[in-house]
Structure 1
Amino acid sequence: MKVAIIGGTGFVGLHITRHLLAAGHVPRLLVRSGSDKKIAHAEACEIVHGDVSNLPSLLECVRGCDAVIYLIGILREFPAQGITFEALQYQGVVDTIQAAQDNCVGRFILMSANGIRPDGTAYQRTKYRAEQALKESGLRWTIFRPSVIFGDAEGRMEFCSQLKQDIIDSPLPAPLFHAGLLPFKAGLFELAPVSIKDVADAFVLAVTESRTESQTYTLCGPERLSWKAILSTIAAASGRTKLMVPAPALAIKLAAGLLDRFPWFPISRDQIQMLMEGNVCAENDSFARLGLTPTHFSLDQLEYLTRGN
């Protein structure tokens, strides 16, 4: 099958492209100018140069394909640079749906996110609206909502690499965020890291399995781990120990309110809010429904963090 991938040069796209090729499919990637070096196995892929905001490029990318996978997502927006949740996480999906409809490509697989809701942050709201647009499109859809994704990014940035760079490798103590002024339950909010291999397996399975149509899958790893435990595991995988201290989330949000418009500031107000909400699956049966076994978040799965050190 020929599969159009919108957002195929990022961390998740790298692995999905590779898994599609291994399964005998032909990926066709929409690639922005200057991003050719980010393409995995370019010699085996079809490449369309363009941007998700360019409708002719979208039409060219999906034309003649059997399925479309939409992966574009951002954690922070920078409106002055044209990088917004509205443009990339909602309007891009709407325009790609239209391109699929215009080209009679009936199969559409969307990367969403665990924890989205209509009254959440801008990130959560645009992801939610994109899901609704897809469900109302008349296309044969599948939606995946992963928790935080870990795995070898091969030079790209992912969840654990980012935490290693910003927190573990920093000379400052690691922050154990907590609500309120007193450090009750500091760093005890929970996440369920999911392996990129498992996420890619799920996407590739959905390309051909009709039983995944009209289904939404929340993809969480098998463990619910506290923020503190995750930082400790990343530190251990990096061959380090790390001092950790309570940090009131309110103070960080106030600082972010002043500075998160600058790319060098490590976190935004909305990211703090979503982090403190936690990111675990209320019902963690999606991998069982898919017939897949999720990977544990463990030291041997994080060995990529020491490469090049």
Structure 2
Amino acid sequence: MRVFVTGATGFIGTAIVQELLSAGHQVSGLARSDASARKLIDAGAAVHRGNLEDLESLRSGAASADAVIHAGFIHDFTRFPEVCRVDQTAIETIGKVLTGSDRPFVVTSGTALVSPGKLATEDIIPAFNPAWPRASEQAADAVAATGVRTSVIRLSPSVHGDGDQYGFIPILVNIAREKGVSAYVGEGLNHWSAVHRLDAARLYRLALENTASNDLASDTAIQSTRFHGSAEEAITVRKIAEAIGRQLHVPAVSLAPEAAAEHFGWFAHMAAIDCPASSSRTQEQLSWHPAHATLLDDIENGIYTR
């Protein structure tokens, strides 16, 4: 297939591009700069100039492809509601191009807020939460309701591996460096799930190929299929903090919940959230079997603290 990929030069996107190319697909990646374009060319992919706010570039990229993977997102938490609207509009724009065709569309979301406090599974469809205005899944479902072959990949809070500079683990590492302690909230027994970027990339390919081959009856094409990018379903944040502390040679310490906001700033909610996520159904349906390093292995191997 000729696959149009947004976010193609990002941490996860570069792995997706390589995974698709290795499987024999052709890739056109969205590139907003000369440096991004060179990255795609060096990887063996075609360059499609534009960005997530350039809707015409999204339309033309989708129109010239057999399938679309939307892995792009503007990671600027200082204007989070705005970039969430950009993401929603991008999904709606691409979806309109694909309506009336048989071309698959894979959209990116996350597992963290699917069912906080209990194990998230693929069948849980959370209501929209105005406190967290990212509406990727709702936008994908609206596209699916028009008959587009749509699936959603929910990524774990930590997608880890070499080259991770802007994810949640680097945030924790930077805070620990600044504060001189690697902290967790309370007993630190709240859980995150995690997945290696190369395992996540393979999941995108398998989801795309599955979505393309599914025989979707009209009464089942109302809602997107959900897949979970969760290789490890439950790692305590305390273990993560302790591993970071060992690498930075700083103590791992417990914070009272009321002290978390001052220590973690805007990241306090994620530091305290309990969001384990299962991928049992995903692994069975797609024959996806994560095989790369665990999150704690990556931390202990020093990739975040070199």
Preserved contact between residue 7 and residue 29 of structure 1 (Cα < 8 Å):
yes
Q: Which moved more, 1:62-71 or 1:292-301?
A: 292-301
Aligned to 2:123: none
Does residue 173 in structure 1 map to residue 174 in structure 2?
Answer: no
Aligned to 1:11: 11
SS in 1 for 2:139: helix
* Per-residue Cα deviation, 1:211-264 (whole angstroms, up to 9, x for no partner): 49752112222351110101223444x3x44312222444444x59xxxxxxxx
Does residue 91 in structure 1 map to residue 89 in structure 2?
Answer: yes
- Listed as ranges, the matches of 1:209-220 within 5 Å are 209=210, 210-211=213-214, 214-220=224-230
Aligned to 1:48: 48
Does residue 272 in structure 1 map to residue 268 in structure 2?
Answer: yes
Judged with a 3 Å threshold, the aligned counterparts in structure 2 of structure 1 residues 251 and 302 are, in CA distance, closer, same or farther, namely closer
Preserved contact between residue 18 and residue 43 of structure 2 (Cα < 8 Å):
no
- The Cα shift of 1:281 comes to 1.6
Aligned to 1:293: 289
RMSD: 3.1
Higher relative contact order (CA 8 A, sep 6+): 2
Q: Which moved more, 1:50-59 or 1:209-218?
A: 209-218
Paired with 1:74 and 1:252, the residues of 2 have a C-alpha distance of 26
Preserved contact between residue 9 and residue 35 of structure 1 (Cα < 8 Å):
no
- The Cα shift of 1:136 comes to 1.8
Preserved contact between residue 40 and residue 46 of structure 2 (Cα < 8 Å):
no
Gaps of 5+ in 2: 115-125, 217-223
Judged with a 3 Å threshold, the aligned counterparts in structure 2 of structure 1 residues 14 and 149 are, in CA distance, closer, same or farther, namely farther
Paired with 1:189 and 1:43, the residues of 2 have a C-alpha distance of 39
Does residue 230 in structure 1 map to residue 227 in structure 2?
Answer: no
Aligned to 1:263: none
Aligned to 2:208: 207
Judged with a 3 Å threshold, the aligned counterparts in structure 2 of structure 1 residues 37 and 177 are, in CA distance, closer, same or farther, namely farther
Judged with a 3 Å threshold, the aligned counterparts in structure 2 of structure 1 residues 14 and 32 are, in CA distance, closer, same or farther, namely same
**1:134 partner letter:** V
Paired with 1:120 and 1:18, the residues of 2 have a C-alpha distance of 34
- The Cα shift of 1:17 comes to 0.8
Paired with 2:63 and 2:194, the residues of 1 have a C-alpha distance of 35
Percent identical among aligned pairs is: 20
**2:24 partner letter:** G
Q: Which moved more, 1:9-18 or 1:207-216?
A: 207-216
Aligned to 1:144: 153
Preserved contact between residue 4 and residue 68 of structure 1 (Cα < 8 Å):
yes
Gaps of 5+ in 1: 179-185, 257-265
Does residue 159 in structure 1 map to residue 207 in structure 2?
Answer: no
Q: What is the TM-score normalised by the length of structure 2?
A: 0.79
SS in 2 for 1:112: strand
When the two structures are aligned, how many residues end up with a matched partner?
Answer: 284
Judged with a 3 Å threshold, the aligned counterparts in structure 2 of structure 1 residues 47 and 122 are, in CA distance, closer, same or farther, namely farther
- The Cα shift of 1:110 comes to 0.8
Aligned to 2:135: 126
SS in 2 for 1:207: helix
Judged with a 3 Å threshold, the aligned counterparts in structure 2 of structure 1 residues 230 and 57 are, in CA distance, closer, same or farther, namely same
Preserved contact between residue 177 and residue 249 of structure 1 (Cα < 8 Å):
yes
Paired with 1:32 and 1:305, the residues of 2 have a C-alpha distance of 31
Judged with a 3 Å threshold, the aligned counterparts in structure 2 of structure 1 residues 133 and 250 are, in CA distance, closer, same or farther, namely farther
Paired with 2:215 and 2:184, the residues of 1 have a C-alpha distance of 39
Preserved contact between residue 8 and residue 17 of structure 1 (Cα < 8 Å):
yes
Preserved contact between residue 3 and residue 67 of structure 1 (Cα < 8 Å):
yes
Judged with a 3 Å threshold, the aligned counterparts in structure 2 of structure 1 residues 153 and 44 are, in CA distance, closer, same or farther, namely same
- The Cα shift of 1:201 comes to 0.6
Paired with 1:170 and 1:86, the residues of 2 have a C-alpha distance of 29
- The Cα shift of 1:105 comes to 6.1
Paired with 1:51 and 1:242, the residues of 2 have a C-alpha distance of 40
Q: What is the TM-score normalised by the length of structure 1?
A: 0.78
**1:297 partner letter:** T
**2:99 partner letter:** Q
Paired with 2:38 and 2:180, the residues of 1 have a C-alpha distance of 32
Aligned to 2:255: 247
